[in-house]
Amino acid sequence: MVSTKTIHYSKSMLHGELSVPGDKSISHRAVMIGSIAEGTTSIAGFLDGDDCLRTIDIFKRLGVSIERNGTEVTVISPGMRQWQEPSADLYAGNSGTTARLMLGILAGSNIKSVLTGDESLSKRPMDRVTLPLLKMGAEIKGEQESNLLPLSITGKSLTAIDYAMPIASAQVKSAILFAGLNAEGTTSVSEKTVSRDHTERMLEQFGATIGKEDNTVFVKGGSQLHGTTVQVPGDISSAAFFMAATAMIKGSSVTFKGVGLNPTRTGILDILQSMGARVEIKDETKGIGEPSGTVTITYGTLQGMEIKGEVIPRLIDELPIIALLATQASGKTVIKDAGELRVKETDRIEAVTNELIKIGADVQATADGMIIHGPTVLTGGQMASYGDHRIGMMAAIASLVSLQPITIEDPACISISYPQFFEDLEILAVNK
Ligand SMILES: O=C(O)C1=C[C@@H](OP(=O)(O)O)[C@@H](O)[C@H](O)C1
Ligand SMILES: C=C(OP(=O)(O)O)C(=O)O
């Protein structure tokens, strides 16, 4: 029997201050690049969610010393040329970022390994990464022409390529850049629409020879990386659930402290503002590394809108919660150019549409997005999470705008990116 959690917040609005857990994308990269580098890397603000713990576990198996004390992580690595061959398979769990970025790293290493994942990850496409890696001379073998996990990787010296990405994907870009670190020559990756640039920023911090021109990133093979310190900002994709909730409940206002403000991730703020919420940004830090700051969101009367094009990669993981937000906005919201949602932890277009319809929303799935008419009164009821953290959190937030309680199936999946989500919800919710 599937476990469930029933919550009822229909008489609540949101108020207060929140520091959300560390950014998932940046936490993964800090451990990965710290393990590639030689020396000690000290990470502060690490996300102790299941996905990032899988990344730590993989590098421990390769002989890297990693100590974690809550959100402080110390990586001591002899450098990737000294990694040990693992005695068992490397398990990426539910994490697409772990699997795809590891493929790029392992392809240019000097060890043999087998990469596996859970049921959901084993259905997600890997050929977006393995095809360009094979062009670089990688040896990767697996089912359906190396499209599905498990994949066996025999590390090799690689050759640089110039790769024009057919899709906007930071995972693909990062995997090729990691492989490029171990390739002869200079590797370039071009993207039509800019995706998150955490890998580029962090590689530079660790001493890689890396550059950018328009939408093309270059990395020179052979540079030696050195351990350093990394401060991980709060995850704007996690904050987005409470930001959207604040925007749609009359009387709400929440201040998010230390949240990441990398412009390749802030599409949610643009959309909240365009739909009618108040968005104030203060104390923004700039300089080397990742920008962060304090963001206050205040309720506003919301209007539906069209969400498409260049903003999509800047809010790709926020689209489930944006769909819920749109049910509370007046008029029509159209989400387009988001076909990538179909290959996330679950098909998020189907999952969001099915679950929101169950509680009374007017949502229609399209090939590459959704059409939502609002505002609608949501009734509440039982919602499936599909084992997908973002669908689970969307269901939980729906309880703030539903007449009756919401029962979430398999709520434990939320710990993939936000282990203390329900505690934070309880802290912010106050009676109207
Ligand atoms: O590089 C990353 O850390 C991520 C990139 C995105 O995936 P794609 O690269 O598949 O768009 C995003 O959906 C995922 O949650 C994290
Ligand atoms: C898609 C996601 O992650 P991943 O691809 O790493 O599984 C996500 O966190 O929403």
pLDDT in tens, 232-256: 999 999 999 999 999 999 999 999 9
Q: Is 24 annotated as a binding residue?
A: yes
Atom 9 of ligand 2, residue of closest alpha carbon: 317
Other CB atoms closer than 10 Å to residue 29's CB: what's the count?
27
Among the bound ligands, name the one nearest to the CA of residue 167: 1
Q: How far apart are CA 399 and CA 8, in angstroms?
A: 6
**pLDDT band (50, 70, 90) for residue 381:** very high
Distance 344 CA to ligand 2 centre (A): 6
Assess contact for 175 and 187: CB atoms under 8 A: no
Give 308-359 pLDDT, tens digit per residue.
999 999 999 999 999 999 999 999 999 999 999 999 999 999 999 999 999 9
> What was the pLDDT predicted at 370?
99
Taking CB atoms and a 6 Å cutoff, what residues make up the pocket around ligand 1? 25, 97, 169-171, 174, 196, 316-317, 340
Residue 40 has pLDDT above 90, yes or no: yes
Q: Is 221 annotated as a binding residue?
A: no
> What was the pLDDT predicted at 268?
99
Q: How far apart are CA 134 and CA 162, in angstroms?
A: 13
Q: Supply the DSSP symbol for 422.
A: H
> What was the pLDDT predicted at 361?
98
Sorted by where each starts, the structural domains of the chain and their CATH numbers stand as 4-22+233-431 (3.65.10.10), 24-231 (3.65.10.10)
Is 317 an annotated catalytic residue? yes
> What was the pLDDT predicted at 289?
87
Work out the burial of residue 392: count CB atoms within 10 Å of its CB; fewer than 13 is exposed, 13-18 middle, 19 or more buried.
Answer: buried
Prediction pTM value: 0.99
**pLDDT band (50, 70, 90) for residue 1:** confident
Residue 235, ligand 2, Cβ within 6 A: no
Q: Is 342 annotated as a binding residue?
A: no
Distance 223 CA to ligand 1 centre (A): 26
CA separation, residue 246 to residues 128, 311, 401 (Å): 37, 21, 11
Assess contact for 128 and 167: CB atoms under 8 A: yes
**H-run or E-run covering 421:** helix 421-428
Residue 287 has pLDDT above 80, yes or no: no
